[in-house]
Amino acid sequence: MIIYGVGLLAGCMLIGVYAGDLVGLLFGIDANVGGVGIAMLILMVVSNYGPLKVSIKPITAEGITFWNAMYIPIVIAMAAKQNVFAAISSGWLAICAGFLAVALSFLMIPILVRFSDKTDEKV
């Protein structure tokens, strides 16, 4: 049944977010640390590997792949609810800081990728 897939996905997310909150609590910070990432790992492990593996029938998988396909529409809705007005009218300090941070981070991508190439070769 499709709901099994949706339920599995939802269960993974809740466990992951809970774990992320616990990690935050452990470090004494008021933030979720990697909850969504942990949820993704749980889903990948449960659907692929080892003794935990559950066999997912195609119809069950549809409950997950539907939400996978809804990703872009959700992102568009997310764009439409951003506080763009505040961002644009916030003055040059915020715009400079945000813009420069992104520009330099973009430049760091090839540098870090090359760095990992070199390190992997040595191993």
Partner 1 sequence: MSLLLDVLEKNALITAFVVVALVLWFSNLLAKKLFAGKIHGSAIALVVGLTLAYVGGLFTGGDKGLADITMFSGLGILGGAMFRDFAIVATAYGAELDALKRAGWIGSLSVLVGVVLSFFIGALVAIVAGFEDAVSVTTIGAGTATFIVGPVTGSALGADSSVIALSIAAGLVKSIVVMIGTPLVAKRIGLNDARSAMVFGGLMGTNSGVAAGLAATDPKLVPYGAMTATFYTGVGCLIVPSLLYFLVSLVL
Region 43-72 residues binding partner 1, contact defined as CB under 8 A: 43-45, 47-49, 61, 64-65, 67-68, 70-72
Query: Closest Cα to residue 20, out of 10, 11, 30?
Result: 30
What is d(CA 20, CA 93) in angstroms, rounded to the nearest whole number? 33
Closest CA to 43 of 81, 4, 9, 93: 9
Alpha-carbon span 13 to 36, nearest angstrom: 7
Tell me, by CB under 8 A, how many residues bind partner 1.
Answer: 76
Minimum gap (Å) between residue 51 Cβ and partner 1:
15
Considering only residues 65 to 104 of the shown chain, the ones binding partner 1 according to CB under 8 A are 65, 67-68, 70-88, 90-91, 93-102, 104
Which of 58, 107, 121, 122 is close enough to bind partner 1 by CB under 8 A? 107
